Structure 1
Amino acid sequence: MYRVLIVDDEPLIREGLRTIVNWEEHGFVVAGSASDGLEGLQKTEKLAPDLVIVDVRMPGMDGLNLIRAVRERSRPKPHFLILSGHADFEYARRALEMKAEGYLLKPVDEDELTEHLAKMKSILDEESRKEKVPPAEWSGERIVASLLAGDFGSVPEEAVAGAGLDGDSFEVVLIKPQSREEIDGATTARVKRKLSETYEPAGRGVVFSMDPYLGIVLKNSAGDPGALDAACRAIARACADSGLDFTAVSGGAVARLDELERSYRNARERMKSRFALEGGKVHVWEPPASEGHAGGGAAGGGKEAPDLNAAGEKLLLALDIGNADTAAELIRGTGEAMLEAGMTEQEIKAGFAQMLTMALGKLAQNRPELKEKVQAYSSAVPDIYAEYRFSGLIGRLTALAREMAEPFRGCGGDKQVQRMIELIRRNYSENLKLESLAEVFNYNSSYLGKLFKQTTGVSFNTYLDQVRIEKAKELLADGMKVYQVAERVGYANVDYFHGKFRKYVGVSPSEYRKRLH
């Protein structure tokens, strides 16, 4: 009997699938069920199902991410049938592109499910026949695949000897070819072929594919301090021929072939943090110093994630005055803080997209004369998702920030106080603070405050209040409601706005509006 795992967040669907057909009649048994993608991933590793029936749309880890994770982590890989509602066809289409074997529309039809099971049984039967391979037909890569799956007992001893897998130590090096563009299968095969030509004829190792990675099993590397450097050079040559970059990690050397799975498991774990890893070397797995490891970023140190709204506000001010250095430093500092907080690759990219979109949106609103330039920069924001390495992402963003700051350089007056005044008049509705302005102007806040008062005769906060109240008077004259005016001019608390308005105008906002009308 082939084992089936059902993954769906709806209890009725899970129970309905258990009972809709006689599974054993079709050669299957339902080994378990899961209510979400994360539980499905755990049960896949525990139950080793041959077939997973999964809903593509679930809270938390959805079906697409489950398929991705299972194919990266599970050996052997199960087959997948997709469950989807009418509104989720785009999810289902993407799942089929990931080579899921079929698509079932909810509510599931018994005859349709039966047809899929018959097809799956034929596929699984054929795979079972192919697994019974005579020793002479065991290639080095086939042997490695069995070893990495922890199935050492299935490999004939004479096959191991014939494949040249003898040595004093063995080490798995995983390779992720990378590019800002999608890498097709032919290109990956070309990289693999180049590596095979380097390692296999000389008996130095075996090259294998383990989607989404390529890999090398190095022989006798424990006694060769230059083995990983040589591997790095070989990988670099193979990737460069196809115009690719790469990340490579080693799971460490083991003494026996039956321990090879451990080296592979370590390398795979280290590869999860590839976004934070630099290129140009083979990174070696080390036991984690503490719990908490970010799936696509770096080891989480328990630090708090940065306030992206505050960072976006500072970026807005830096760009508004054309301070490219401060804008670039804000991006670097925010990126490092996200990395140290253990945020994943996608979370970091989404954080930067949020930060940039907010700053550029407000710039377009506050500087209408430069709206077209701002919109052009906004169209470049989605490009950050093509970056596959943290250092590359920061490099792209800092270059973009410097480019964005250029049109605003010199738009204000030559004196710092005059530039501050212009900045306040454009951004009075923002959460402006002297400390924030001092940071973007590269001044000590106390000194900047004294300089501002000497020039204008009033403190920074008083001047900001005066600008806001003058704008509030205009909006009240236009008939806008008091609470709307308070929010529009930058006062989050309407009672506080009342107090400020009375202080500077002598009457309440409501009374002022009545006098006008």
Structure 2
Amino acid sequence: MFKLLIVDDEPLVQVGVKSMLSWEDYEIEVIGSASNGRQALDIIESNPPDIVITDIKMPIMDGLELTKYCMNNLENPPVFIILTSYEEFELAKQAIRYNVIDYLIKLELDASLLQESTKKALVQVKKKHEENGISPSQYEEVLIAHIFEEKFFVKLLYNLFENDEQLNMQLKDLKLDLNGNTFLTCFCEICTDNEAILSNEQILNQYICTLNMFKEIAAKYLKCFILSLDYKHFAIICCFEERETGNINELVRSSLEKVCLMIYKYFNVQIKIGVGNSCNKLHSVGISFEEARYCYKSSNTNDNIIFYSEFKKSNYSSNTFDLSFLKDDFMKAFEEYNIEALYMIFSKIVKNLNENPSKYLQALDCACNILYICMNLLPDGEVSINDIFSTEIDGYKSIYQKKNVEQIISWITLLRDRLCEYMEEHKKNYTNNTVNLVKKYINEHLEEKLSLNEIAAIYSISPSYLSALFKKYCSVGFSEYITQMKINKAKELLLKENYKVYEVSDMLGFESAFYFSKVFKKVTGYSPKEYTQKQA
């Protein structure tokens, strides 16, 4: 992951730059911000960034002095992007000699200009990293982890985990801090009056900027995780410790009001939020999310924040579409890229909606649920769904324009047909990638006792399917592959590191030195002692 530092003496500019792009999409982590060159230099020397975006005119040490110092005194100085005003433009041009890749006029700065400069900077950074022998795979690992985090939250929100064991296993593997004894979920929509006059690219930029700023500000008030659902909606999962569980609704309301007010002042957009009931079990988050969606969609008040606990409900169950009876089949079809099974599931949903032509709210909620799940379970998510709806005027957003159940059914049918076509085209690449990811996990955890069930749970696929994938795409089965990798590692430890047999056995998670020796001989034809003597 590349590192970015933002330096400006105006706090709003710091927040604006940080919110303007979805930095994860560029493999960039924002490591911090500073209000002058001296503060920035302290950060640069303790946690060296790859890119620095800095204002040129600041107190104590300005941007030009900062770039000059880094160029003259640091062995591996960062690449700089300079922020300037019209009157400082000539001064900014002097900075080009000091490892500055670009300079941007503040008043003209928007997402497209910042994106262009960022891409220029990344070309330079990647070139430097290649010269220093840093592998691109290190950045890919971070991106893969981000993808698995998103899939984890989708499964949590839509109650798609098979059991608590699978949930806890993935939670542990992803190292997510979801500790707490109370949880609460929100469903949010970004509302703007000027959407009709904006291009799709402008709407997307507005959404990214708004969502990033929301994340930045919300973190000051709440311990929460925010998941993008599409470029109009997002979800919030809040976690509370025991000491915070006095009046959770009031805490959430006051926090969200502050965040929404700042968003409105900065971007002139409203955030409408449905808030579900709190729950004391992580696996109940899906119920809270369903409540949040329901009160958000059913409310006809002018309030921007609607709590399910305060909402006057009319026959809640009759206004929601229960996907639970298809949950396991739906997940399995996605995991296995089983096009035939997926087609049948969609057809069952369509049949159910056809039998209830008056349930518009139910049908809309169902369609949106399917959209969010597909978007987050597909390997390339929103890009894939955009491709599927590329011939529609509003893309997948056209679901929000549907006025009756019949139109919604047509939309779901279109998604079904094109999704099946898409998955058929990409099936081979997906399955190969899954096997490669599992292999990588095995090789990084050879010291552990690895089981088919546990690894399948981590990657959200069934054990039988994972076993079948190994048989199809590898020359050996799952268990045989683990054994081979452990023995290969054992050879290295015995020869290069001079560990004793019982030490290697312990290090690689074998039951005993006797069992290790037995497996070693079965694979190599020699006992560990005979092997080391032979190689001496």
Do these two structures clear the TM 0.5 threshold for a shared fold by scoring above it? no
TM-score by length of 1: 0.28
TM-score by length of 2: 0.27
Which has the larger helix fraction? 2
